[in-house]
Amino acid sequence: MRREPVFDVVTALVRGIVRVQGLHVRMEGVDNIPAAGGVVLAVNHTSYVDFMDVGLIARKAGRYPRYMMKAELRENRVVGFLMKHCRAIGVDRSHGSESFHEAVDALRAGELVVVYPEATISRSFELKQFKSGAARMALDSGAQIVPLAIWGAQRIWTKDIPKALGRRGFEIVIVAGPPLEADGDADALTARIRTAMQECLDRAQAGYPAPVGAGWVPRRLGGSAPTLDEALVLEDKEMAERRARKAARGR
């Protein structure tokens, strides 16, 4: 496997951030990530910093992840530089087929591609309804799917909750489950992926502190986070406001 200097520098920076913040990162199932060959790494999405945890476990497994990221982020000079040199796959929602085919090509070439089946951050911190992209990529490429769940990162930076940067000493748990073979149809495989990711999430949450009423704790566990239905209403409102701003800029 060729070295990727920019990615190695970014990984070192992330490890430095982890030390500065006093975070305790616990990884389970690193050996479930194949050392070679095409892999769809299907990850839950609760935080703006999930990508850092994904990078840490991927590098622990000896892999360089190919992130799927919003194409418009390339307009930022720093992010655009990192996307280019870390070979991220830009996702343009108006031309989604291009990024899909790029991801499939990467998988066929033996890459590890990171996919968030929920597409956007879950305000409820529960698994949302899944898109079928991860399953379709795996079926088209023949790649295995590794389910992965991250828990605790939402305490640092997520939607609707003040950021908690600085030396906090939070624990971050990352659990990778056994690989799934890509077979059957996309809907059935998507259901299997979701079930496997829920199992990983349950393992990550087991024994983790869940203060009553805490905004980062799911309602199911005694917290005050929105339920899935309440989160969907907030998400719809957010999307409507985003469309309105875009329309106003276009006038």
Positions in the chain whose pLDDT score sits under 70: 1, 71, 73-86, 93-96
What digits encode the pLDDT tens for the residues 21-73?
A: 999 999 999 999 999 999 999 999 999 999 999 999 999 999 999 998 776 76
Structure tokens at 195: 């079930």
- Give the neighbor-by-neighbor strand order of the sheet with 171-176: 24-28, 171-176, 144-151, 39-43, 112-115, 65-70, 89-91
Tokens found for residue 15: 């490890």
CB 177 within 8 A of CB 147: yes
- Domains contained in the chain, CATH given: 5-212 (3.40.1130.10)
Q: What does the DSSP 8-state code read for residue 153?
A: G
120, 45 contact by CB (below 8 A):
yes
Residues 189, 140 contacting (CB under 8 angstroms): no
- Enumerate the H helices of the chain as residue ranges: 5-21, 50-60, 77-85, 96-108, 133-141, 186-205, 228-250
First-to-last alpha carbon distance for the chain, in angstroms, is: 49
